[in-house]
Structure 1
Amino acid sequence: MLLTEEEIGNEQIDAAQAPGDTAAGSPTSELEEARRERDQFRVLAQRVQADFVNYRKRVDTERDDFRRSANRALLLKLLSVLDGLDLALQGDAARDVDQKWVEGVRAVKRNLDSALAGEGVEGYGGAGEKFDPRLHEAIARVPTAASPPDTVTRVHRMGYRMHGEVIRPALVEIAASPPDDSASPATQT
């Protein structure tokens, strides 16, 4: 007995719809397998997306660190120039030359100070400040009664910070308690 094409198609449909049929290759098992694969790919895509977000954050952080490092190196060079201008304006050197030259150097210094201030750079380290090891680098302790102990008495080089972060500490001398002259070796027991 030969079956017509229509009868063959109907038998295949009936076989696919038979209850409890979970044999390999059946539409139900194929659907379940496709769903498992879909879920695996979804998890994989979420991991790849999270990895990419983390990569972008890391690259942004590294770029910002590089910029800060490059800016710091440039600022330290400019601060050295500023120190030279300060030195040129101090002492006998500024008195022994034409005052127009001195005013020109002062104008250059003001312009450089203004440019640095525009970038968030500020100087600190004046005499009379309380010594702070985070801001100052003490190069000498000077016994004196004129200032309280641990007070800056002289600034050798200004300190600078940018947006609150110290980029160069101030080099300073600080006051120390004067030696007690009343305690002589003859009176000690």
Structure 2
Amino acid sequence: METKKEIRSRLKKQRSLLGADECRSMSHEIYKRLIESGLDREYDNILLYSAIRNEVNTDEYFACLINKAKRIYYPRVCGDEMSFYRVRSLDELNCGSFNINEPDMTHEYTEADGRALMIVPGLGFSYTGYRIGYGKGFYDRYLSSFTKRDTVMAVGVGYDFQLLGNVTFEDEYDVPLNGVITDKREVFIDD
């Protein structure tokens, strides 16, 4: 059985081999699935991310959400911590930690702002809602920081090859997502 490190390495390589047109096409399919799911209807706050290294691009979803007058937040890393800050235009994002576009530290998302839908990147996802990221634990620490986990609905997005069946890779500190959406299907985890 593959270790988490081996899975991470394999999926990182597989994703790096994708062409720009493939990424754009599959990201668009995921965008359509996000829209069709209607997940954002229940949330005024949406937490997105800036795509790097062939990750699913969320810019199209951002444009749709802005037109729906949603409050959108992007992550910013400081040391070992990640926080989300309000963004009204993608032009407000600047190169930050790990060469990822980040927002200025204007309005930080907190539980007091109300429930949020978080769209989460990853290298791999399991059918049970666990994810493999880059190994720094930012999303797990962030999600575990909420006193009531139902404050944030976390949905992973990835290409269909990143959704792995018959694989267990969660550790005791990993926080499961509520679901995963790929370019070909959706998997939601029952409570």
TM-score by length of 1: 0.23
TM-score by length of 2: 0.22
Greater per-residue strand proportion: 2
Greater per-residue helix proportion: 1
By relative contact order (CA 8 Å, sep 6+), the higher-ranking structure is 2
Q: Which has the larger radius of gyration?
A: 1
